[in-house]
Chains A and B, each alone.
Chain A
Amino acid sequence: MDYALQQLLNALAFGAEYSLVALGLAVVFSIMGLVNFAHGEIIGVSAYSVFLAAALGMTSPIVAVLLAVAAAALAAIAFERVAFRPVRYAPTTTGLLTAFGVSIVVQNLFMLLISPKPQSVSILNGLNQMWFFGPFAVSSLQVMELIVSGLTILALVLFLNRSTLGLAIRAASRDFATVRLMGIKANRVIATAFAISGALAGIAAVFIIARRGSVSPDLGFSLVLKAFVACVIGGFGSLAGAAAGGMLLGFIEVGLLVALPQEYGGFKDALTYVIIVALLVYRPEGLLGQRVELGDKEI
């Protein structure tokens, strides 16, 4: 029983983290069609900011958390400003390749300016403890991951449904030109979307630093690849799909960890992707995606 509960918590915690990152990708994709491969490097900027601040003498974990989120949001806005604005109205492939380029640049800047080797960051280690509930031992980090992700998603839903800017983001995902006809500034909507996307990445970064206790140039890259897969399986561009896809991915991964014999553990990632791709054979549009016909016009 203990074991089953532990694995359930594992799956939920993994899933929550994928959902956060996948939601960040989906928010940006849904309004401007940008496949943001540089999302992992937003996580990277966030993590390296904490590393640098700690190296310069910052000791408060709370400040570190705030810094991580703020740095990620600012990095996202900066990426948009510098790299994505020139290709805003370009075809999807152009934006995708631009983002890929940004990802390569930033990853290599970490190598060039800091070090290709992982650097130790211990400031957030305190988040990662064992909590005992009677006979059960659970990881504090996993519990926090679950709760914080849940609250974050709730806040995001409230923002998108209550605030004018949130409504504008939802509206822009379908019809950007008409949102501008409402007098709403396009740049503001896009900057907000990037800031949200970045903040979600920053929260994920906090958990990553706390778990690993170190930062490295490719810190966010593989996580974001998985988040992309979560988006695809949920239906690209659908926010609910991204969250659901992330959770599903967490459950598949933990399921494989439990099911696979020790010596085949290395195949976990490969099998996860195989399962996802197999699912796509049956639902090419993803679980919650809708078949959108090109040229659909609301008349």
Chain B
Amino acid sequence: MLSVDNLVVRYGAVSAVRDLSLKVGRGELVALLGPNGAGKSSTINALTGLVTPASGRIVLDGQDISRVRTEDRIRAGLTSTPEGRHIFANLTVGENLRLGAAIRRDPKGVHQDIERFLALFPVLSERYGQAAGTLSGGEQQMLAIARSLMSRPKLLLLDEPSLGLAPKIVVQIFDFIGELKAEGLTLLVVEQNARQALRFADRVYVVSAGTLRHSGPPSSLADEHGLFNLYIGG
């Protein structure tokens, strides 16, 4: 579904991502792991088009989208839940969800989807008319993911869904991610929290200092004990 070839992202003279290649197959959940500053978020931003890569190719469903604008990539079925959630704090929960569906032209379907997510996350239903900024961190993350799903994407990029959340909440979030996978959604999850990310992952890429260090099934990480410790830690 998604294939990235020789991606390079530079900020001025600094290379954040060097020659990175990866693939995500239909229905797969792929985890992209690595320590802080490894270039994970830069990769995601290059995929969504918020930063322009210095070189490399990004192909979605056989279509080269490397030079396509962010807006049009979303319309092509690729959506991202950004790091730090970035919910619209001054808008209500309901308005956030409606904006998530901005590209859709089926009001009925949108309405049904909103109902579905409210049923799934009762807390969002309780706070439907409230400013989203008043939600707790975990609730904001639920809202951010739900908002991304409102566009009915083919591929969802999740950037650090566990960031700044309590362990119990992180488990809940990943349970939900597992359900999404079971429903057939294709996911690329970027994480520092390897244990959670590996629960549902089909394949794993490990990056550090902008370079791909390892790729393989999750079990390969457990085998190569040193690698796990070196790049990810306990």
Contacts and interface: CB of A to CB of B under 8 A. Distances in A.
- Touching chains A and B, CB distance < 8 Å: yes
A299 B163 CA distance: 8
B84 A182 contact: no
A167 interface: yes
Contacts of B91: 167, 170-171
Interface stretch (A64-72, A115-123, A172-180): A172-180
Sort chain A's interface into a size bin: 20 to 34
A182 B81 CA distance: 10
Contacts of B74: 180-183
A175 B99 contact: no
A167 to B, nearest CB: 5
A184 B75 CA distance: 9
Interface string B82-118: 1011111111000100111011000000000000000
Contacts of B90: 170-171, 173-174
A291 interface: no
Interface magnitude class on chain B: 20 to 34
Contacts of A256: none
A168 interface: yes
Contact of A299 (B50, B80, B85, B95): B85
A223 to B, nearest CB: 29
B85 A164 contact: no
Contacts of B103: 182-184
B70 A181 contact: yes
A179 B103 CA distance: 11
B225 to A, nearest CB: 33
Q: Identify which of A167, A174, A178 gathers the most chain B CB atoms within 10 Å of its CB.
A: A178
Given A181-B79, A182-B100, A183-B71, A175 B88 contact: yes
B164 interface: yes
Interface in A122-178: 164, 167-168, 170-171, 173-175, 177-178
Nearest to A298: B89
Contacts of A186: 70-71
A185 interface: yes
B151 A183 contact: yes
A170 B69 CA distance: 22
Contact of B50 (A170, A174, A180): A180
A164 B71 contact: no
Given A180-B71, A181-B82, A183-B75, A299 B99 contact: no
B192 interface: no
B99 A174 contact: no
A178 B86 contact: yes
B99 A164 contact: yes
A135 to B, nearest CB: 48
Contact of B99 (A167, A185, A297, A298): A167
A186 to B, nearest CB: 7
Contact of A298 (B75, B84, B151): B84
A225 B87 CA distance: 35
B48 A181 contact: yes
B137 interface: yes
A183 B163 CA distance: 24
B100 A299 contact: no
B85 A298 contact: yes
B71 A167 contact: no
Given A167-B91, A171-B88, A179-B99, A298 B71 contact: no
Nearest to B137: A299
Contact of B86 (A170, A173, A175, A184): A175
Interface in B60-84: 69-71, 74-75, 79-80, 82, 84
Contacts of A183: 71, 74-75, 79, 102-103, 151
Contacts of B164: 299
A183 B78 CA distance: 10
Contacts of B98: 164, 167
B133 interface: yes
B137 A174 contact: no
A299 B159 CA distance: 13
Contacts of A298: 84-87, 89, 133, 140
A48 B69 CA distance: 38
A167 B80 CA distance: 19
Given A181-B74, A185-B71, A297 B82 contact: no
A168 B99 CA distance: 7
A185 B73 CA distance: 11
Contacts of A164: 98-99, 102
Contacts of A184: 71, 99, 102-103
A177 B89 contact: no
Interface of A: 164, 167-168, 170-171, 173-175, 177-186, 297-299
The 3 closest A-B pairs by CB, nearest first: A183-B74, A183-B103, A171-B88
Interface of B: 48, 50, 69-71, 74-75, 79-80, 82, 84-91, 95, 98-100, 102-103, 133, 137, 140, 147, 151, 163-164
